[in-house]
Amino acid sequence: MSYELVLGLEIHIQSKTKSKMFCACSTDYFGKEPNTYTCPVCLGLPGALPVPNKKAIDLCMKLGLALNCSINQETKFDRKNYFYTDLPKGYQISQYDQPLCYEGHIDLEIDGENHRIGITRVHQEEDTGKSSYAGGRTFLDYNKSGVPLIEVVTEADFRSIDEVLEFANQLRLLVRYLGVSDADMEKGQMRFEPNISLRRKGYAKLPPYKVEVKNIGSISVLENVIRGEIERQSEILDKGETPVQETRGLVDMTGETVSQRAKETEADYRYFPEPDIPPIVFTKEDIENVRKELPKRSPYELRSYYLDEIGLSPKDADFFVNDLEVSSLFNKLVDGKESDKKYIDSIVSLIKTLHSVIIENSIDRNFSDLDPGFIKMVIEEPPPGHLLKELLKVKIETYWEKDLSPNEILQKEGLESVSDANELSEFADKVISANPKAVSDYKNNPNAIMFLVGQVMSQMNGKADPNIVKKILEGKLK
Amino acid sequence: MSKKKLSKKEVQKIADLANIKLTDEELDKYSTELSSIIEYVDKLSEIDTEKIEMKAHNVTTQNVFRRDEPGKSLTQDEAISNRKSSSEGGNFVIKSTLK
């Protein structure tokens, strides 16, 4: 018998905030000592008062708007009660009947055909603690408890695995691009829960059952799980039976699942308004302000613009699309010169250098705010290669808002490079006569010249371009 | 107003949701006790709320937020100091929750 897939997804995404959803504990918990990022609020101690993180609310709204949702101007938090040790309060603070965002959609293009997937809701909640199991005992670490978590719920609109995978990839790209989440799946920052059922081809009614699979932290495992369920459910349906409505859990990364428990019904959660958090009311203007921050192009449109119109490699296109700050600076610099290959290559290389300077030095700056004029000057008159990173670093750390040219900054910082051939030659001569052993090594091993280059650089306090020094030394030692 | 007594099955369901075990005698006892509590709370249904707007909160405050700024957390020792169970490597340790 042939069946049609009927699938809806719930996706949990950890927001990119510095502090937790309802308390000031840091969200930088990954790989840290257990229970070192907790406080009375996220440990669920009596009398603690949760206060919502405004940044998290804004990020949730931003994602909702990007998914074409309507925004509830009046929203609130609710308690979802269930008894499990990863939630020390005995309930999760979530949203029930007034989710922040509702009724959106996303359009997927697969093989030239449009597939619209309805978004039921996008709401804000909190993550739970981490449980691990060994020797008949459970170990509880509440560092993750209370980290802001966005839940996206789709309609049961998926009819093929291809649609699910395309959606998962696009959503991951979207949240990264918007700066909503890093969506690092290895760190559990994005998790999928499909509700899977099958119906006879040609039937329009929803199947009388659904099987939910919890906590899938990888898109390839998600694919395996769905394939496995289609097979398992087809066999049951072929026998004329109906699969049991249940929650299944992953056995391992192959995607094999096992029945966990009969699915709780909504009433079992006994939702009620969170009395400790006053309601939230947005003006139309509040919503429009967040909408204004949305980029004009979606990440998919941007990616094809990079590939087709600018001619970036797929790798470079992905690098830029994965980060709104990076792509925004890049777009400003392209500035109508899409076809100037040489210019584009130099911006790509410079932005990558800039990105690595920011990562290496853990600099906390939104670099889409960096003055594009400055970057253009660096491209037109590049500093000696060895000074580029240093120049970018001091520009960001010290001269962010100061209107100085690259050369002025190099001078002020004493970073200017000696390019006077006579001066360089003098230093080279001194080093050659002081290091006879290295000079004779060089005759047998050309790599030994790097020692001499290092000596010249150190005598000149780094104020020379090592490539030029190398050439001068090679000339002298011929 | 309901004078209906909670069935033992209903009490059992509530006990399951709260993850507690009840003996047969306790199920009997609590079905009587919980029923009288419900009956008492049911007095509220006597009030005519026809013209009252439905609200989730009765406070006038709204939009209470925090800025996204990390602050100090408890130390590990402080965090686990209130435990009833044991601890290991800074974790709370309890009987296995796996079935």
Boundaries of every domain in chain A: 3-281, 295-412, 421-477
**Residue of A24, A83, A140 lying closest to B19 (CB–CB):** A83
Q: Dihedral of CA A390/A393/A399/A405: which sign?
A: positive
Closest CA to B93 of A83, A133, A38, A46: A133
- Amino acid (one-letter) located at A106: I
pLDDT tens per residue across span A266-321: 778 899 999 999 999 999 999 999 999 898 888 888 888 999 999 999 899 988 88
What span, in angstroms and rounded, lies between the C-alpha atoms of A209 and A195?
A: 10
> What local confidence, expressed as pLDDT, does residue B1 receive?
41
Bridge partners, A261 (sequence order): A247
- Amino acid (one-letter) located at A407: N
Q: How many CB atoms lie within 10 A of CB A28?
A: 13
State whether A281 and B94 contact (CB < 8 Å). no
Q: Is residue B29 part of a domain?
A: yes
Partners of residue B88 in chain A, C-beta under 8 Å: 139
- Answer yes or no: is pLDDT of B77 > 70: yes
Exposure of A63 in the CB half-sphere (CA atoms within 13 A): 33
**Residue of A26, A34, A278 lying closest to B64 (CB–CB):** A278
In angstroms, what separates the C-alpha of A367 from chain B's closest C-alpha? 19
Q: Is residue B57 part of a domain?
A: no
Q: How many domains does chain B have?
A: 1
Q: Is residue B21 part of a domain?
A: yes
Partners of residue B75 in chain A, C-beta under 8 Å: 36
Where does the pLDDT of residue B82 fall: very low under 50, low under 70, confident under 90, or very high at 90 and above? confident
Distance of CA A32 to the CA centre of its chain: 20
For B80, residues 6+ apart whose C-beta sits below 8 A from its C-beta are A35, B87, B90, B91, B92
Phi, psi of A391 (to 5 degrees): -60, -45
What span, in angstroms and rounded, lies between the C-alpha atoms of A207 and A266?
A: 19
- Amino acid (one-letter) located at B54: M
**CATH placement of domain A421-477:** 1.10.10.410
Give this prediction's pTM: 0.79
Q: Distance between terminal CA atoms of chain A?
A: 82
- Answer yes or no: is pLDDT of B3 > 60: no
Q: Which residue has the tokens 């309890």?
A: B94
State whether A140 and B92 contact (CB < 8 Å). yes
What span, in angstroms and rounded, lies between the C-alpha atoms of B69 and B73?
A: 12
What span, in angstroms and rounded, lies between the C-alpha atoms of A177 and A183?
A: 10
Percent of chain B with pLDDT over 70: 94
Q: Distance between terminal CA atoms of chain B?
A: 41
Structure tokens at B52: 């009252």
Closest CA to A143 of A86, A60, A70: A86
Q: Dihedral of CA A197/A86/A187/A21: which sign?
A: positive
Q: What is the CATH number of the domain that holds B36?
A: 1.10.20.60
Distance of CA A351 to the CA centre of its chain: 18
Instruction: Identify the segments of chain A with pLDDT beneath 70.
Output: 1, 261-264, 416-419
Domain range holding B44? Answer: 1-48
In angstroms, what separates the C-alpha of A20 from chain B's closest C-alpha? 8
Percent of chain B with pLDDT over 90: 49
> What local confidence, expressed as pLDDT, does residue A20 receive?
98
DSSP 3-state of A190: strand
State whether A281 and B67 contact (CB < 8 Å). no
Q: Is residue B41 part of a domain?
A: yes
State whether A83 and B90 contact (CB < 8 Å). no
Query: Can you give A72-99 as a three-state secondary structure string?
Result: CCEECCEEEECCCCCCCCCEEEECCCCC
What span, in angstroms and rounded, lies between the C-alpha atoms of A465 and A276?
A: 63
